[in-house]
Structure formats: structure tokens, C-alpha cells
A and B are shown apart, each in its own frame.
Chain A
């Protein structure tokens, strides 16, 4: 059974700092990995999606890496801003019966606070 772990559970940093969020998963037979952002009381917003054949994806100040063999992914946030404060969730997609992706398994998230 796939399990996803995110460390740390919470992180507080001063504005402008670069930071790394970690995600690990137990079964390397994944289809893809996604990072989401969740603001308090809101739904999830997809930030980055890395296919299993890829090593990293970048969007603006965000960079996500994937090492399937070791079961790890990192989300790097450059020059953090107070607006980055949110919970960040990692999810891995299993390979479904049709050969494509079907289900996501989520970690519990890392709550990030960026202080002005």
C-alpha cells in the first residue's frame, strides 16, 4: 500500500528565504507526482505535476524534483513571500488498470508560514 510522508509538518521562515519541502513515498511504481497548495478553508490548487519519466518541473519561483528510485520529491521555493503562506500537499498517482493514472495518494501536508 502506497504511503506518502511529508516533512516537516510545519515550517516558519522569514521573508526572502529559500526553502525546501520534502515528500517521500513507499512504492516507486508511480505514474506521476503532484504538488498542491491549500489556503485555509479553501480547496486545493495544483502547482506542479512531474511525470514518472521526468526529473523536475519549474514554475516561476517553484521547482519540484523527483527521484523515483529513492521515493523522494522536493519542492523548492525561492525568495519566499508572505503570500506563499499556505499548506503544501504532495500526492502520488498509482498506475491504474487501464495503464494510465487513476488514483492519488496524499501526504498530510506541510504548513508554511512566511513572516514579513
Chain B
């Protein structure tokens, strides 16, 4: 079992470029999350999904979009990259709403110049 995988590990974007951060899980969990972590800060929730076809905004959704067409995949889309989106992005999944122990991917380090 790979658990939660994220690609790419690192990426440098120019202002205005677009990209998709990939997240996949093989744990058959319904709940998936995208967080960003800025230096010296905790994690902030961008978007989350409680199942295929269902997504909802978190604390900091502006500038991002998500889709959830399958249980396994939860991609995060940046349409017009801005320097404020320079951060480390983590994807996570959880067993169930009744317990919610979250399992994290290794992260994607994104720099926007």
C-alpha cells in the first residue's frame, strides 16, 4: 500500500501560469483534504471532499479549484499562479467521519516567481 501519494514533489511556476497538483490514495477512504503550510505556520485547509462528486471550501479556497471524480484521486488546480501561493501543499485522507485520523502525503513544495 502506497497510502497517500503526491506529485510533483517540487515545482517552480511563473506568475500567471497554471498547474495541477496530483493526490492519490489507495486506502479506499471517502474523505480527502488539501492543506497549505506556510513557513512557521500550521496547516490551513483549502478544500475538502467527503466523497466522489462532493467538494467543499475550506478556510483559504481563493485561487484554487478541485474536482473529485473518483474515490482515489483529488487534484488541486491553480489557474493563475501568484507569489502568495508559494507554499508547501499537503493532501490528506481519513478513515471516516466517526474517527477522522488523518493520513498525510509527503507534500508538494511550490514556488511562484
Q: Which chain A residues have a beta carbon within 8 Å of chain B's beta carbons?
A: 4, 31-32, 34, 36, 42-46, 49, 89, 91, 93, 96, 98-109
Indicate if the CB atoms of A32 and B107 lie closer than 8 Å.
no
Known interface pairs A43-B107, A102-B48, A102-B50; A89-B101 also in contact (CB < 8 Å): no
| A contact patch SS | strand
Is B1 engaged at the interface, CB distance under 8 Å to the other chain?
A: no
Can you list 18 A-B contacts (CB < 8 A)?
A34-B102, A42-B107, A43-B90, A43-B105, A43-B106, A43-B107, A44-B102, A46-B101, A46-B102, A89-B42, A96-B97, A101-B94, A101-B99, A103-B33, A104-B45, A105-B45, A108-B41, A109-B42
**Size of chain B's interface in residues, with CB distance under 8 A?**
27
Besides the known contacts A46-B102, A109-B42, 17 further A-B residue pairs in the complex with CB atoms under 8 A apart? A42-B107, A44-B43, A44-B92, A44-B104, A46-B101, A49-B99, A49-B101, A89-B42, A91-B102, A96-B97, A101-B100, A103-B45, A104-B102, A105-B45, A107-B42, A108-B40, A108-B41
